[in-house]
């Protein structure tokens, strides 16, 4: 063996009982698992894992590291958590496929998520196809990555920012682009149905695209039209759509937020159980925190987003149009804010791009407005314009009871939805996986250790269609994490959101240490993970 990990508590990712065993690694794969009392293994290197749990590397089913992986070789935000695979291209907006015009627009639109806005030269955008982006990852990155074709970007490429149904030729072009992305290695398609321009797509359009996804063996991953006033209807509609299309479905950050949904997680799970019992193929992911995180511009009504970022800024500068936006946000309940009138006391600024706006970070919009002696919308409008839509926010609208209820479900997986940009990002970007293990396993007992590891490894690998990942089994890739079940914890907090976790001394990808003795090595073992032979 190249490496023998001796005496670990093996939690194999299946959800079955753990056991004490030695694990041998050869040429990047698990070569043997020998339980205590069986013939011992010999290797060129031995790691004493007494007191540690050994699990498959964790899979972040909802990541926003699309550019971070390319510009940050360290990427300890995820590697230190035991994450060995991230799923990118989320929420219907990312950087491939694209032409020059679309790429410039999408860079502006999601600069708050990923950086990379116009003028940010930290990444050379030298690709235009899904395959080209995946090829860039294959040069070597910190952790592995899979990719979803972003439906909003595809629509932008074909139809711009127009709020209308596609002509037949336009729909055919979108279907061809989705097919091309899947053929080049994407594992499915995402949508952002509260983000423009993806939210302009009707169910018929989405159904046709999902039929393409199904034919290529992928899955559909929607950010729903509502997580607030219309949440249950949005979930039910998506389940129907996927079943009509015959497409596997993965529900992104499947939360039930805002006051209208307090204590209603059980209703969502009843809906899903009925569909699962009827034969539907459904999974979901969540993060173990109550606040959400997005851009301030995402709260705007959909009509205000038509035409793209520069048109949005022009509307915000127009006093009459701005007042219409305010009424939609504060009185009616904008579709961008999930049909619920915005409570500016729950909207905390987590990051800005313009240094002159740094004083806003860490305060709610309501607090800054009070300090300035102005209406909250005046503060929000100024931020949107002066920061060119790049402001990120935390939205404190979740419910702990809902979080715990959903994470227990039989098709649940873990996803950080981690936005790494901003001076004070959501701690989920740096803490989701140890927070599951420390807070919800050891401290609260919401999940057993074996259940939690299955949610974070074996189950997501199965959803991704990766037959040689997600389990500690001979022949599987040696993507592994060793952690101390008694001490593992998220260091990241809302006050110190980039603090590293504790209790995770070793992380391996393809048998190579990316974290050793708690420190990041210089190993770049990550590559693209593509559905099919190359995965």
Taking each helix axis as running N to C, give the angle between helix 151-159 and helix 168-183, from 0 to 180 degrees, rounded to the nearest 10. 140
**Closest alpha carbon to 430 in 439, 418, 442, 413:** 418
First-to-last alpha carbon distance for the chain, in angstroms, is 24
pLDDT at residue number 532: 65
Burial class (CB in 10 A: 0-12, 13-18, 19+), 516: middle
The parts of the chain modelled with pLDDT lower than 50 are: 533-535
Strand partners, 192: 223
* Three-state secondary-structure class, residue 230: coil
**Closest alpha carbon to 92 in 395, 273, 277, 305:** 305
The answer to pTM > 0.85 is yes
Non-local CB neighbours of 305 within 8 Å, separated by 6+ positions: 161, 196, 197, 297, 312, 336
Q: Do residues 296 and 346 touch, judged by C-beta distance below 8 A?
A: no
**77-93 CB burial, b ≥16 within 10 A, e <16:** bbbbbbbbbbbbbbbbb
pLDDT tens for each residue of 335-365: 999 999 999 999 999 999 899 999 999 999 9
* Three-state secondary-structure class, residue 205: helix
Strand 392-395's sheet: what is its strand order? Answer: 292-295, 392-395, 347-351
Among left, alpha and beta (phi > 0; psi -120 to 50; other), residue 362 is left
Task: Give CA–CA dist 71/534, Å, rounded.
Answer: 24
pLDDT at residue number 534: 39
What is the helix (H) or strand (E) element at residue 26, kind and residue range? strand 19-26
Q: Do residues 454 and 13 touch, judged by C-beta distance below 8 A?
A: yes
Task: Give CA–CA dist 458/413, Å, rounded.
Answer: 9
**Closest alpha carbon to 41 in 1, 75, 98, 89:** 1
What is the rounded (10 degree) CA torsion for 308, 314, 317, 318?
Answer: -110
């Amino acid at each position: 063996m190249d490496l023998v990990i001796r005496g670990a508590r093996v939690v194999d990712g299946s959800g079955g009982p753990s056991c004490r065993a030695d694990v041998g690694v050869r040429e990047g794969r698990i070569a043997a698992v020998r339980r205590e009392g069986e013939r011992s293994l010999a290797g060129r290197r031995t790691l004493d894992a007494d007191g540690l749990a050994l699990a498959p590397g964790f899979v972040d089913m909802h990541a926003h590291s699309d550019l971070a992986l390319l510009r940050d070789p360290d990427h300890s935000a995820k590697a230190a958590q035991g994450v060995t695979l991230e799923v990118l291209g989320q929420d219907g907006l990312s950087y491939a496929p694209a032409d020059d015009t679309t790429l410039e627009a999408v860079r502006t639109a999601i600069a708050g998520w990923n950086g990379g806005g116009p003028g940010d030269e930290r990444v050379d955008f030298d690709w235009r196809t899904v395959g080209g982006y995946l090829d860039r990852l294959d040069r070597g990155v910190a952790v592995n990555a899979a990719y979803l074709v972003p439906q909003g970007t595809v629509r932008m490429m074909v139809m711009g920012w127009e709020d209308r149904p596609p002509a037949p030729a336009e729909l055919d072009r979108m279907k061809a682009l989705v097919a091309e992305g899947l053929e080049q290695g994407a594992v499915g398609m995402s949508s952002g149905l509260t983000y423009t321009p993806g939210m302009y797509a009707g169910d018929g359009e989405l159904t046709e695209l999902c039929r393409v996804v199904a034919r290529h063996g992928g899955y559909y991953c929607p950010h729903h039209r509502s997580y607030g006033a219309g949440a249950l209807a949005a979930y039910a509609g998506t389940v129907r759509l996927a079943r009509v299309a015959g497409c596997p479905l993965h529900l992104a950050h499947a939360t039930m937020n805002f006051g209208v949904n307090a204590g209603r997680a059980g209703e969502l799970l009843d809906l899903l159980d009925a569909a699962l019992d009827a034969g539907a193929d459904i999974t979901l992911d969540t993060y173990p925190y109550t606040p959400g995180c997005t851009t301030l511009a995402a709260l705007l009504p959909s009509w205000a987003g038509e035409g793209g970022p520069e048109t949005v800024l022009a509307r915000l500068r127009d006093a009459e149009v701005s007042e219409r936006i305010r009424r939609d946000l504060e009185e009616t309940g904008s579709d961008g804010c999930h049909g619920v009138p915005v409570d500016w006391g729950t909207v905390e600024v987590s990051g800005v791009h313009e240094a002159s706006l740094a004083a806003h970070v860490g305060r709610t919009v309501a607090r800054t407005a009070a300090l300035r002696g102005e209406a909250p919308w005046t503060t929000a409008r100024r931020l949107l314009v002066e920061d060119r839509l790049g402001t990120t926010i935390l939205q404190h609208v979740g419910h702990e009871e809902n979080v715990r209820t959903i994470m227990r479900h039989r098709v649940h997986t873990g996803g950080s939805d981690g936005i790494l940009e901003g001076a004070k990002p959501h701690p989920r970007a740096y803490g989701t996986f140890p927070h599951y293990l420390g807070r919800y396993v050891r401290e609260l007992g919401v999940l057993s250790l074996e259940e939690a590891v299955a949610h974070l490894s074996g189950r997501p690998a199965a959803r991704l269609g990766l037959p040689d990942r997600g389990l500690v089994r001979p022949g599987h890739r040696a993507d592994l994490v060793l952690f101390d079940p008694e001490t593992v914890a998220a260091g990241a907090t809302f006050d110190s959101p980039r603090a590293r976790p504790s209790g995770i001394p070793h992380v391996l990808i393809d048998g190579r240490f990316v974290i050793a003795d708690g420190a990041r090595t210089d190993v770049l073992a990550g590559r693209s993970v593509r559905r099919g032979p190359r995965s």
